């Protein structure tokens, strides 16, 4: 049997940033628990934005074929998903939002035999998931969390918790060790937990 796969979607543009370090810690936790971990950096993808192509556009995932193709394949195989992003104007970063929008096709609008149209998930909702975010103490993350939870639902995953680190400094990668330890524990826990019942 292959190892459980954790897919970590990284919405940070900055290598060594707090979001970056937290996701790496979660990936380490997943590996320590015997799983595999794949980090996808949204800023490295060359992918078109969703154009709302409408119902029954393709039997596959998307009408476009670009760097999102391997992302769909990894998410399909995933046992667990962690979305990580800095808060930019109260939500996730733009390249991560592009990736999220492109996953609309995992629960596409399809025309049924009787002519009605319905959102039909391609995958069962068995994946465990979490959100990791970093923001200024005066800011908020609830709107980003709402976006992430909607996305996870669309991809056969269920949000279980958010690890948010509000801070006051402006130093790259200043996230403290106790918060990194929480991210590592989160990665281990999601990997060790059995898949959800659909
Ligand atoms: C374009 C941009 C928009 C931002 N908007 C917000 C915001 O709305 N709320 C907030 O709390 N912080 C905001 N910030 C600050 C970042 O969330 C903060 O610097 C965070 O630490 C970035 O994560 P990192 O340290 O992992 O890079 C913004 C930063 C940038 C660059």
DSSP letter for each residue of 132-156: EEEEETTS--HHHHHHHHHHHHHTT
Question: Which of 175, 155, 159 minimizes the C-alpha distance to 167?
Answer: 175
User: Which CATH superfamily includes the segment(s) 5-192?
Assistant: Flavodoxin domain (3.40.50.360)
Determine the atom of ligand 1 nearest the C-alpha atom of 172: 25
Residues 163-181: tens digit of each pLDDT: 999 999 999 999 999 999 9
**Kindly report the CA angle at 45 between 19 and 179, in degrees rounded to 5?**
10
Is the CB of 135 within 6 Å of ligand 1? yes
Q: What pLDDT is attached to residue 152?
A: 98
From ligand 1's centre to the CA of 94, what distance in Å?
12
Residue 198 banded pLDDT, cuts 50, 70, 90: confident
From ligand 1's centre to the CA of 58, what distance in Å?
37
Summary mean pLDDT of the chain? 97
How far apart are alpha carbons 28 and 182 in whole angstroms? 12
Contact 188, 29 (CB under 8 A): yes
pTM of the model: 0.98
The residues pairing with 133 across neighbouring beta strands, listed in sequence order, are: 85, 164
The residue with tokens 């800011």 is 139
Residue 80 banded pLDDT, cuts 50, 70, 90: very high
Is the CB of 87 within 6 Å of ligand 1? yes
Sign (positive/negative) of CA torsion 100, 165, 34, 191? negative
Q: What pLDDT is attached to residue 117?
A: 96
3-state secondary structure of 115: coil
On the question of pLDDT at 1 being above 90, the answer is no
Q: Work out the widest C-alpha separation in the chain, in whole angstroms.
A: 58
Q: What pLDDT is attached to residue 177?
A: 98
**Kindly report the CA angle at 102 between 49 and 187, in degrees rounded to 5?**
125
Strands of the 80-86 sheet, one edge to the other:
36-41, 5-10, 80-86, 127-136, 157-167
């Amino acid at each position: 049997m292959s190892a459980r796969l954790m897919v970590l979607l990284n919405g940070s543009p900055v290598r060594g940033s707090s979001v970056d370090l937290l996701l790496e810690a979660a990936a380490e936790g997943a590996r320590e628990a015997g799983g595999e971990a794949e980090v996808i950096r949204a800023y490295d993808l060359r992918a078109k934005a969703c154009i709302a192509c409408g119902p029954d556009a393709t039997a596959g995932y998307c009408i476009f074929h670009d760097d999102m193709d391997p992302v769909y394949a990894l998410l399909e195989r995933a046992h667990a998903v962690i979305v990580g992003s800095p808060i930019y104007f109260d939500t996730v970063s733009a390249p991560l939002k592009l990736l999220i929008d492109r996953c609309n096709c995992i629960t596409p609008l399809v025309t049924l035999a009787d002519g009605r149209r319905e959102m039909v998930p391609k995958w069962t909702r068995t994946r465990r998931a979490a959100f990791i975010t970093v923001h200024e103490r005066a800011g908020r993350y609830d709107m980003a969390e709402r976006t992430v939870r909607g996305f996870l639902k669309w991809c056969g995953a269920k949000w279980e918790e958010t690890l948010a680190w509000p801070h006051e400094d402006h130093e790259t990668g200043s996230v403290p060790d106790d918060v990194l330890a929480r991210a590592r524990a989160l990665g281990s826990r999601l990997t060790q937990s059995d898949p959800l019942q659909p």
